Amino acid sequence: MTLREIKELLDAEVLVGHDQLDKEIKTAFGADLMSDVLAFAKAGSLLLTGLTNPQVIRTSDVLDIAAIIMVRGKRPSPETLRLAEELLIPVLTTKYILFETAGKLYAKGIVGCMERVDDERAFT
Amino acid sequence: MAAWKGLTTNVLSHEPALYENSFPVEGGTYENAGHVSSQIKALLKGMKISKEVVRRAALVTYESEINICSYARSGKIVLRVTPEHVTIEAIDEGQGIVDIELAMQEGYSTATDRIREMGFGAGMGLCNIKNFSDFFRITSEIGKGTHLKMVIRIDKDFDGI
Amino acid sequence: MHLEDIVKALKLRVVSGEDGLAAEVLGGYVGDLLSDVMANSKEGDLWITRQTHQNIVAVASLKDHAGIILVQGCNPAADTLDKARKEGVPIMVTDMPGFEAIGKVYNMIATKKGPDPST
């Protein structure tokens, strides 16, 4: 699914990244805990969250998240938007709650990610 | 107190550094939290290191930086790149950790509500750091501060910066 | 849609509140920040989260949720389980990632037809 199709599906408003709507998305991760996102989300995933602070953008930058969907009509602060523009990370906002947002995407074939890194990758 | 994973001795110091730099981190505020991590990520990206290594290095740097912003008075992150390893050290001046074993347990956290509302403080930070590093060591002194050292192995095909 | 239908279809493991499985599920809510869930979830919601500490029981009980699903292999802390059993709050656990669990529950509630045919 492209980001443009996702925007239509979720009746979302694009706040940052109008020029990146042709990006292809296959996986998504919904979370309010940034450490969960850091532990589990795959590069190239869509991040669905109720948080709007600048750390959402930083976390997405660290993980190469494809785009962020802020749910429940949440709008980020100008500071958050500036950072997203600087780091070229698309931000969309939808009026749906996380439950409906994830449900609609799942029904269209987007899958979740669970990429727990093993404890056993120590030097041997 | 201390805890570690992987190498327990400092055998990496003999490797010649291709890059070494120290980045100050402001404690007690989130105003610039993550700024150093973004900088380090961009630097590593420019070194033709594999995406996965860059991602892991950025991730452990970021969790460490958030810890300094959340709990310490001030701190710094030291990045050192050698032909075989990316080493990141997070050194802070702060309250220190009373019980490292407890702090390393997933789900354990002393975070305030303010930290939790930012999406952190779920007791996963140190676990994430440990899991995404090939070598990890933590030492802490109460009232003085905490020192984290993370090493990530660079893939064999790395041909230098 | 009854809670037990969802439990069966998604093969959830029930760890507390078995008596509450006949409850009607009116909707779903997903959230890991308790203040958000307190403010925005509704009565009869099935709450999907990965928070495991005992405050989740108080939130679910205060908001009259149908139950709580803990995702991505999270297990309730011991005091959470005690409290949930005492208060009769159904807690279900699954190894599914949150996104997938949400997708399946949403599909069941939205269509009211039963389990996702694709699985």
Residue B79 · residue B152 · CB < 8 Å: no
**B116/A77 Cα distance (integer angstroms):** 18
Q: Per DSSP, what are the bridge partners of residue C29?
A: C47
Does C111 have pLDDT greater than 60? yes
- For B33-66, the pLDDT digits (tens) are 999 999 999 999 999 899 889 999 999 999 999 9
Share of chain C above pLDDT 70, in %: 94
Residue A121 in any domain: the answer is: no
Residue A96 in any domain: the answer is: yes
Residue B159 in any domain: the answer is: no
Q: What are the chain B neighbours of A119 within 8 Å (beta carbons)? A: 130-131
Confidence (pTM): 0.85
Q: Which amino acid is at A46?
A: L
CB contact under 8 A, B107 and C32: no
- At residue B161, the pLDDT reads 56
Residue B124 DSSP SS3: coil
Tokens 């090493």 appear where? Answer: B151
Does C102 have pLDDT greater than 70? yes
Residue A81 · residue B95 · CB < 8 Å: no
Residue B84 · residue B11 · CB < 8 Å: no
Domain that holds residue B57: 2-9+16-153
Residue A117 in any domain: the answer is: no
Q: What are the chain C neighbours of B111 within 8 Å (beta carbons)? A: none
Judge whether A38 is closer than 8 Å to chain B, CB to CB.
Answer: yes
- Give the phi and the psi of residue B63 in degrees, each rounded to 5: -60, -40
Residue B102 in any domain: the answer is: yes
Per the structure, the count of domains in chain A is 1
Q: Order the strands of the B19-26 sheet from edge to edge.
A: B2-5, B135-141, B145-153, B85-94, B72-81, B19-26
Which pairing describes strands A27-30 and A111-112: parallel, antiparallel, or unpaired?
parallel
**B103–chain C nearest CA distance, Å:** 16
- At residue B3, the pLDDT reads 78
Domain that holds residue A50: 3-112
Nearest one of C23, C21, C16, C33 to C85, comparing CA atoms: C16
**A95–chain B nearest CA distance, Å:** 21
- At residue B7, the pLDDT reads 60
Q: Give one word for C88, left, alpha or beta, with left for phi > 0 and alpha for psi -120 to 50.
A: left
Q: What are the chain B neighbours of A43 within 8 Å (beta carbons)? A: 51, 55
- At residue B112, the pLDDT reads 85
- For A38-63, the pLDDT digits (tens) are 988 889 999 999 999 999 999 999 99
Residue A118 in any domain: the answer is: no
**Domain extents for chain C?**
3-111
- At residue A123, the pLDDT reads 30
Give me the count of residues in chain C: 119
- For A72-120, the pLDDT digits (tens) are 999 999 999 999 999 999 999 999 999 999 999 999 999 988 654 443 3
- For C21-65, the pLDDT digits (tens) are 999 999 999 999 888 899 899 999 999 998 888 889 999 999 999
- At residue B111, the pLDDT reads 86
Residue A122 in any domain: the answer is: no
Q: Which residues lie closer than 8 Å to C82 by C-beta, 6 or more apart?
A: none
CATH of the domain at A85: 3.40.1390.20
Residue of B116, B120, B127 best to disrupt the C interface, most CBs of C under 10 A: B116
- Give the phi and the psi of residue C85 in degrees, each rounded to 5: -65, -40
Residue of C36, C53, C70, C75 best to disrupt the B interface, most CBs of B under 10 A: C53
Nearest one of C24, A58, C90 to B32, comparing CA atoms: A58
- At residue B113, the pLDDT reads 80
Residue B79 in any domain: the answer is: yes
HEC profile of A35-76: HHHHHHCCCCCEEEECCCCHHHHHHHHHHCCCEEEECCCCCC
Does C79 have pLDDT greater than 80? yes
Residue B160 in any domain: the answer is: no
Q: What are the chain A neighbours of B127 within 8 Å (beta carbons)? A: 39
Neighbours of chain A (3+ CB pairs under 8 A): B, C
Residue B51 in any domain: the answer is: yes
Instruction: Please report which helix (H) or strand (E) contains residue B67, including its range.
Output: helix B51-71
CATH of the domain at B32: 3.30.565.10
Six-digit token pair at C70? 């803990």
- At residue A122, the pLDDT reads 30
Q: At what angle do helices B35-45 and A54-63 cross, to 10 degrees?
A: 20
Residue B55 · residue B117 · CB < 8 Å: no
* Class of domain C3-111 as given by CATH: alpha beta
Measured in whole angstroms, the distance separating CA A108 from the mean position of its chain's CA atoms is 16
Residue B86 DSSP SS3: strand
Judge whether A121 is closer than 8 Å to chain B, CB to CB.
Answer: yes
Which residues of chain B fall below pLDDT 70?
Answer: 7-13, 156-161
Task: Give the pLDDT mean for A12-24.
Answer: 97
Measured in whole angstroms, the distance separating CA B145 from the mean position of its chain's CA atoms is 14
Q: How many CB atoms lie within 10 A of CB C114?
A: 13
Residue C4 DSSP SS3: helix
CB contact under 8 A, B117 and C32: no
Nearest one of C47, C105, C99, C50 to C74, comparing CA atoms: C50
- At residue B56, the pLDDT reads 93
